[in-house]
Amino acid sequence: MCAVNACLWNGCALETTKDSAILKLAPTAQGKCNAMRRMTRIIAAERAPVATAAQARRWGLTIPDVITDKRPVVVLVHGLDADKNDCAPLGSALHDAGYQVGYFSYPGDQPIEDSAGMLARSIRLLHDRFPNIRVEFVCHSMGGLVARAYIEGPEYPGGVDRLIMVGTPNHGSRWAHFRTALSVQEHYYLRADPDWAWTWLITEGMGEAGDDLLPDSDFLKELNARPRRDGVKYTIIAGNKSGVDKAEANVVDSVSECSTERTRGWWGFGHCYRGLVAVANHLREKSSDGDGPVSLKSAKLKGVNDFVVLPADHVSLFITPPGREPVALGAIRERLKG
């Protein structure tokens, strides 16, 4: 109970009796929902310790079995409601190019500052083992905010050479309103894990990260008021292809493929087929003001001049099926060589 009350905001307290639990709120504490959600996560974790421990094994920093501090380690950080598996194609490509590649995973729905704290502890342990090793971060989407909050925060001790943010909403995204669907989808697939338990839905977080991602959130206001960290090279890679346009193009393609080679030679039918193909091609080639969830304006950050725009949507910038390279790979490799 002491642990629960320690996580509550001042003015909140939880008391228990033999057959009841009483949450006391000061009048000024009514809007402190994050404290309530944090308490719920702690209670769920305490009620299911085995499931919580199994879930925790999915998080943290993973590094190669054999590593040297003579070269930097490139740490890949995933985005909202994702995991290190989403970084695997990029990680494999960088490994094949000779880089030491690590992966940092974190609970996707908890407050971003909490994830930054986890990253700080992980990097501290890495430096305990390899005091002279340098770190280069390559982050997708919200992962860029996690790394920024660490690098530009009070717990940063140094040791990071570069931060590459791919599709990162530095000024938020209104798509964060739909993060619940992403969380449900993630846990639908996680159910195949024999360790999965329903409490994972709670202990991973209760939507705080989605709130942090909204434009003008308190988290973003505080983070963006910080200066860029001296000694760290920043790069922002953004996309200008909308995933919605891509989906529409695929639908148009499906309609056009309903016609056969024979009917395409008929008058009228051929015109219709060629028109559909033209529409699909236009949608794919069409440039947008962002990658779908993240606008170019949101991706920009004061003090960062290395800003790269690529013809890709939010996912294909960083995440691809095995055997295909992410669109941002070339720009990432160019910066890491530098």
Domain contains 35: no
Of 86-90, 169-173, 188-192, 310-314, the poorest mean pLDDT is in 188-192
Question: What total of structural domains would you count in the chain?
Answer: 2
- What is the DSSP code (8-state) at residue 9? P
189/266 same-domain check: no
Does residue 243 contact residue 292 with C-beta atoms inside 8 Å? yes
Each residue's pLDDT tens digit, 77-86: 999 988 999 9
Say if pTM beats, i.e. exceeds, 0.85: no
Alpha-carbon distance values, 48 to 41, 51, 186, 197, 252 (Å)? 11, 6, 20, 9, 48
Task: Determine the pLDDT at residue 177.
Answer: 67
137/230 same-domain check: yes
Domain contains 57: yes
Domain contains 177: yes
User: For residue 234, what is the domain's CATH number?
Assistant: 3.40.50.1820
Each residue's pLDDT tens digit, 121-135: 999 999 999 999 999
Does residue 44 contact residue 199 with C-beta atoms inside 8 Å? yes
231/259 same-domain check: no
Q: Given pLDDT bands bounded at 50, 70 and 90, which one contains residue 201?
A: confident
107/81 same-domain check: yes
Query: What average pLDDT does range 303-323 have in this prediction?
Result: 93
C-beta atoms surrounding 20 within 10 Å: 7
190/248 same-domain check: no
63/184 same-domain check: yes
Partners of 14 in the β-ladder: 23
**Range(s) of the domain holding residue 197:** 50-241+288-337
Q: Given pLDDT bands bounded at 50, 70 and 90, which one contains residue 91?
A: very high
Between CA 337 and CA 212 the distance in angstroms is 33
Domain contains 29: no
Task: Determine the pLDDT at residue 120.
Answer: 97
Task: Determine the pLDDT at residue 29.
Answer: 46
Q: How much helix, strand and coil, in percent to the nearest 5, is found in the chain?
A: 45, 15, 40
Each residue's pLDDT tens digit, 217-226: 999 999 999 9
135/249 same-domain check: no
76: Cα separation from own chain's centroid = 10
Domain contains 224: yes
